[in-house]
Amino acid sequence: MHSFGYRANALFTFAVTILGFMCALASFTDSFNSPSPSVQVLKVNWFQKQPNGNDEVSMTLNISADLQSLFTWNTKQVFVFLAAEYVTPKHVLNQISLWDAIIQEKENAKFTITTSNKYRFIDQGSNLRGKEFNLTLHWHVMPKTGKMLADKVVLPGYRLPAEYR
Amino acid sequence: MGFVGDTVDSIKSLQIRQVLTQGVSLGMIVTSALIIWKALMCITGSESPVVVVLSGSMEPGFKRGDILFLHMSKDPIRTGEIVVFNVDGREIPIVHRVIKVHERGDTGEVDVLTKGDNNYGDDRLLYAHGQLWLQRHHIMGRAVGFLPYVGWVTIIMTEKPIIKYILIGALGLLVITSKE
């Protein structure tokens, strides 16, 4: 009952339980302010209807944001992506991710980047002419251990050209 | 002769009782584990509340050997969520991020495209032949939390089943031979 093996076992179980508990608690110590990003559509590169009938647009974007406040001791990486959101007659919501990046260091979390869309902006249908859309910057904080947190900022008021080009 | 017979009988009955007791204890341990697993399935609403990350397609966020905790709610699926899905005809579930969503207004059905963070292209190569989108019924849960490294035990036991047998044999031996 009081052998070394018995005591070692009890100690080990206790230590592992405490460790698990601390890992769960680790998520609750994260707190942050809301970053305020800005995104501009510098240029619409081209805008066409594909042979299968779906509209596609390619654009060059300028994205700048400061996500440094999201980084804590428990942050492993921040996954940031920019999604275009719009409504069409048949689809009550369409979300297309246009660009994403993985930020692993706090210094890299304040950035400005000019890029064309990484993923193709293709509609299901031919609804994009003159379409109003929001650009939402999402960020997803992945911790070293524990619960993941996600948040976003919606930037409304963008509009696609009225005609193909 | 009668005295010897009595002693032998009493020893035999003691041993049988001990073996039976320990068999029942072992059964209880296994059943409790099963009960906890099924309860987790009910609470999280997912067929498989805990999965092990098997590939490096979500690095550096999730590495091979991490454990993911899943939760499935009726909330609509949105871009950025990390979902676990099964492709028809393949039994190993895949954990990737949603990058495109098209939700129909009339039926509420949704077309979803996923991609691993560390992959160059989207998952259309992984879907079934001719399949371009995932639907809700393919998705088993969303990843809500994770623990690093703990899943290596499962990976080792799957890839080298001999270790599984050795472990179970050793555990069984321990239970049977313990005097308590």
Give the pLDDT confidence of A21-70 residue by residue, as tens digits: 887 676 665 555 567 788 888 888 889 999 999 999 999 999 999 888 88
CB contact under 8 A, B61 and A90: no
C-alpha B114/C-alpha B36 separation (Å) is: 31
Could you tell me how far CA A93 lies from the centroid of its own chain?
18
C-alpha A113/C-alpha A108 separation (Å) is: 11
List CB contacts (< 8 A) between A77 and chain B. 60-61
Tell whether the model's pLDDT for residue B176 goes beyond 80: no
List CB contacts (< 8 A) between A23 and chain B. 147
C-alpha A39/C-alpha A152 separation (Å) is: 13
In Å, how far are A17, A21, B37, B40 from B34, measured between CA atoms?
20, 23, 5, 10
CB contact under 8 A, B101 and A93: yes
pLDDT tens-digit profile of A137-153?
A: 999 988 887 778 888 88
B130 touches chain A (CB under 8 A): no
Predicted local distance difference test score (pLDDT) of residue A119 = 93
Residue A83 makes CB contacts below 8 A (sequence gap 6+) with A95, A96, A97, A98, A135, A136, A138, B79, B80
Asked if A101 and A66 touch (Cβ cutoff 8 Å), the reply is no
Nearest to A93 among B62, B103, B106 (CB): B103
B117 touches chain A (CB under 8 A): yes
Nearest to B100 among A92, A97, A147 (CB): A97
Mean pLDDT, residues B95-123:
91
C-alpha B95/C-alpha B119 separation (Å) is: 12
Determine the residue of chain A that is closest to B111 in CA distance.
Answer: A94
List CB contacts (< 8 A) between B178 and chain A. none
Asked if B58 and B117 touch (Cβ cutoff 8 Å), the reply is yes
CB contact under 8 A, A145 and B148: yes
Q: DSSP 3-state assignment of A64? A: strand
Mean pLDDT, residues B90-115:
89
Predicted local distance difference test score (pLDDT) of residue B133 = 92
Looking at per-residue confidence, does A75 or A32 come out higher? Answer: A75
pLDDT tens-digit profile of B40-84?
A: 778 777 667 788 888 888 888 888 888 888 888 888 899 999 999
Residues of A with a Cβ under 8 Å from any B Cβ are 23, 27, 76-77, 79, 81, 83, 89-97, 100, 102, 104, 119, 124, 138, 140, 142, 144-148, 150, 152
In Å, how far are A90, A97, A130, B161 from A126, measured between CA atoms?
11, 19, 11, 53
Per cent of chain B over pLDDT 70 is 89
Determine the residue of chain B that is closest to A83 in CA distance.
Answer: B79
B124 touches chain A (CB under 8 A): no
Confidence of residue A121 (pLDDT cuts 50, 70, 90): very high
Predicted local distance difference test score (pLDDT) of residue B72 = 85
CB contact under 8 A, B79 and A83: yes
